[in-house]
Amino acid sequence: MSQLHHPAGDITLAVPRHWRRRSDPARGVVLAARARELPASGLAPELVLRAVPITSGLDAWRTEATALLAGQLADFELEDAERYDLGGEEVDYRRFGHRVGDVAVVCDQWAWAFGDLGVTLTGSVAREDYLDYGDVFEEVATTVRIPGAAGWEP
């Protein structure tokens, strides 16, 4: 279980035990983890949990964030977007594709907003490996616990 210390409490999630975690992730990144085994595609599957301050609600924040991604990622394409209940909290789910060099990448991204805190979990994998990792990403998303959310325990 990995944690982020936040004034309201700790953000926690469970990642596969055999994945490597980066010891010094970038600012705003709570956790970055990669699969130890490299699939045939040559792109290591990765999970990144970010927590950022937000000044708008979930809808506006996600619209802005998606527009930013579209401007930053090569061949960005939003493939799916929906809202649903995950562990008693509303989550914004997006699946999108883009390219890293010659590799087609698929990302699953879940987003939660709590007051001025925005949290995203993004799983990235080569498109050809998505069937092997999509369920892993979803399982990790079900373990995210955020201060103030349903089921959160300090």
Q: For residue 86, what pLDDT is reported?
A: 87
- Please enumerate in sequence order all residues whose Cβ is within 8 A of that of 153, keeping only pairs 6 or more positions apart, or say none: 145
Q: For residue 12, what pLDDT is reported?
A: 79
Residue 71 or 151, more confident: 71
The CA-atom distances, in angstroms, between 95 and each of 106, 116, 123 are 7, 24, 9
Residue 51 or 108, more confident: 108
Instruction: With cut-offs at 50, 70 and 90, classify the pLDDT of residue 3.
Output: very low
| 19-32: average pLDDT | 77
Q: What phi, psi does 134 have (nearest 5°)?
A: -55, -45
- Please enumerate in sequence order all residues whose Cβ is within 8 A of that of 76, keeping only pairs 6 or more positions apart, or say none: 69, 70, 96, 97, 98
| Cα distance between residue 141 and residue 33, in whole Å | 14
Q: Quick one: 41 exposed, middle or buried, by C-beta within 10 A (0-12, 13-18, 19+)?
A: middle
| 111-118: average pLDDT | 88
Reported pTM: 0.88
| 48-67: average pLDDT | 92
